[in-house]
């Protein structure tokens, strides 16, 4: 077996282990599992919901609540079909599709690698099916939007699409925000919500799904004086280039907030010719997933493309009057775009750790306390001693109430199985601290033990100091 083969096998082993842990411990289930599943869909279970909500909260705090130039929205998923004509999605949101004439399997052409080591293309198509060896048909463009009909009619005028991105929900509300809040530039709009793409080949667990969530910002800035502005002119110093760089730093800040290993995140300056049609500059933030270095987030300078398109298609004026310069113009836009489910996957993959503790193999999630579903689990040493159970319940209730006071959720009570099993279970779901009530707690008022997930070390902490001790570590 070659070194590369070994590496690929161990990477897919890690992904299998993560998927199975997610199912076993109640993070994420396959969508519609009892019916054999539905490809590209995933159902979040209680611990997955908690993890995802923690990530959303951290994002919303950093990008909206902690700033005074951001407007949060929650736009409808179904939008007037003209939205998608204006945005370019009806005409161009397509992937190259190729189908095997023999086994009928479908592939994304650009994901098939030819003998020359290059992705299949119309000019140099891969001709052999990787699954059965049959011959592949011609490459054709496949639009990835999910089409539906609004109301009882099924004619063309009733067509709508499940949105393939959250961004357009903000552009179409730009004027509403101007008219209701009267912000001055620069300012941004933000939202978290579902997006749908009929991916030809959903794969790699949450990485490429057909239904997923995005967290996106459209940040509006002055129009540059020189429309050919490449970001190097003086005018750019307080224009889009500076905002672009600020967001670049903010994205790294968010990555640190959620505890991702910084050295696993890489910036890729997307070259001319490879960017989306609307973008004058794009940086992809790639992450070292177990299956390779792949896009996690994007940061794009969308110019005035979207507002101008919507103004033209809707015949509504989407310009901004600048009181300072007494000019009217269409603002330009910087877009930081975050995939929420890819974030969940990156966090899980980064945290997944195997080691040995007390000569036994151990699997644990080294989650940052900020994202961990449970911050603390409280146990009685023995389940069948009412005094221990009552005391543990009391400690649990106090911790839960005190944590809630400062807006932190995630205190668990666990008395299932023996103490070793409970530690292992909490390690597997990434709980940073376990508190155990034992006989010394009651008989000698000797406090409780607090066990640290990563080192397995235990410390005795006086009951009166427990809340402060733990909050100091998880806040
Ligand atoms: P890719 O090239 O991987 O298909 P993209 O460049 O089309 O991604 P964008 O349109 O920029 O992605 O979407 C913004 C973000 O939404 C991505 O950075 C990613 O985190 C997330 N995202 C996009 N497609 C999917 C998907 N099918 N499943 C899960 N997340 C996705």
What is the domain class of 374-474 according to CATH? alpha beta
Closest residue by CA, ligand 1 atom 21: 339
Centroid of ligand 1 to alpha carbon of 41 (angstroms):
15
Average model confidence (pLDDT) across the chain = 93
> Which residues is 461 bridged to in the sheet?
448
Q: Is the CB of 337 under 6 A from ligand 1?
A: yes
Enumerate the domain spans of the chain.
3-88+166-348, 374-474
pLDDT of 225 strictly over 80: no
pLDDT of 232 strictly over 70: no
54 Cβ contact list (under 8 Å, min separation 6): 370, 371, 372, 373
Task: Please give the number of the atom of ligand 1 that sits closest to the Cα of 206.
Answer: 29
How many of the other CB atoms lie within 10 Å of CB of 302? 22
**Residue 186's pLDDT band (boundaries 50, 70, 90)?**
very high
Share of the chain above pLDDT 90, in %: 82
Q: How far apart are CA 180 and CA 199, in angstroms?
A: 38
| Listed residue (369, 375, 377) closest to 413, CA to CA | 377
53 φ/ψ sector (left φ>0, alpha ψ -120 to 50, else beta): alpha
In this prediction the pTM is 0.93
Centroid of ligand 1 to alpha carbon of 212 (angstroms):
9
Q: Supply the pLDDT for residue 117.
A: 87
Q: Supply the pLDDT for residue 154.
A: 79
* 412-460 pLDDT per residue, tens: 999 999 999 999 999 999 999 999 999 999 999 999 999 999 999 999 9
219-235 as b/e, with b when 16 or more CB fall inside 10 Å?
Answer: bbbbbbeeeebebeeee
3-88+166-348: CATH topology is BirA Bifunctional Protein; domain 2 (3.30.930)
Q: How far apart are CA 286 and CA 295, in angstroms?
A: 4
């Amino acid at each position: 077996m070659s070194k590369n083969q070994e590496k690929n096998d161990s990477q897919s082993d890690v992904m299998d282990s993560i998927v199975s842990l997610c199912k076993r411990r109640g993070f994420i289930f396959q969508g519609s599992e009892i019916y054999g599943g539905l490809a590209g869909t995933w159902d979040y279970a209680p611990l997955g919901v908690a993890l995802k909500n923690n990530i959303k909260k951290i994002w919303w705090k950093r990008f909206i609540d902690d700033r005074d130039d951001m407007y949060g929205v929650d736009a409808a998923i179904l939008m007037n079909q003209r939205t998608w004509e204006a945005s370019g999605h009806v005409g161009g949101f397509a992937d190259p599709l190729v189908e095997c004439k023999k086994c009928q399997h479908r592939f994304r052409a650009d994901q098939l690698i030819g003998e020359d080591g290059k992705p299949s293309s119309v000019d140099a198509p891969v001709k052999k099916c990787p699954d059965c060896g049959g011959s592949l048909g011609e490459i054709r463009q496949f639009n990835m939007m999910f089409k539906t009909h609004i109301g009882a009619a099924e004619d063309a005028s009733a067509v709508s699409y499940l949105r393939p991105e959250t961004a357009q929900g903000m552009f179409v509300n730009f004027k509403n925000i101007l008219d209701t809040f009267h912000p001055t530039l620069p300012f941004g709009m933000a939202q978290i919500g579902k997006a749908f793409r009929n991916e030809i080949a959903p794969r790699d667990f949450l990485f490429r799904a057909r239904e997923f969530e995005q967290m996106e910002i459209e940040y509006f800035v002055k129009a540059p004086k020189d429309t050919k502005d490449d970001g190097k002119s003086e005018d750019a110093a307080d224009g889009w280039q500076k905002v672009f760089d600020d967001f670049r730093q903010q994205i790294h800040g968010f990555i640190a907030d959620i505890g991702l290993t910084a050295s696993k995140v890489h910036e890729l300056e997307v070259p001319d010719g490879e960017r989306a049609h609307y973008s004058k500059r794009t940086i992809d933030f790639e992450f070292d997933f177990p299956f390779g270095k792949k896009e996690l987030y994007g940061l794009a300078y969308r110019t005035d493309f979207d507002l101008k398109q919507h103004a033209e298609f809707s015949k509504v004026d989407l310009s901004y009057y600048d009181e300072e310069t007494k000019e009217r113009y269409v603002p330009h836009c910087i877009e930081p775009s975050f995939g929420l489910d890819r974030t969940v996957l990156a966090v899980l993959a980064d945290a997944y750790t195997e080691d040995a503790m007390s000569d036994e193999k151990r699997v644990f999630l080294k989650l940052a306390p900020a994202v961990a579903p449970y911050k603390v689990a409280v146990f009685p040493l023995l389940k069948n001693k009412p005094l221990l159970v009552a005391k543990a319940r009391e400690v649990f209730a106090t911790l839960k109430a005190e944590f809630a006071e400062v807006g932190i959720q995630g205190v668990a009570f666990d008395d299932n199985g023996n103490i070793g099993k409970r530690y292992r279970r909490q390690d597997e779901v990434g709980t940073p601290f376990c508190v155990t009530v034992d006989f010394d707690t009651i008989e000698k008022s000797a406090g409780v033990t607090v066990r640290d997930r990563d080192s397995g070390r235990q410390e005795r902490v006086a009951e009166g100091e427990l809340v402060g001790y733990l909050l100091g570590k998880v806040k």
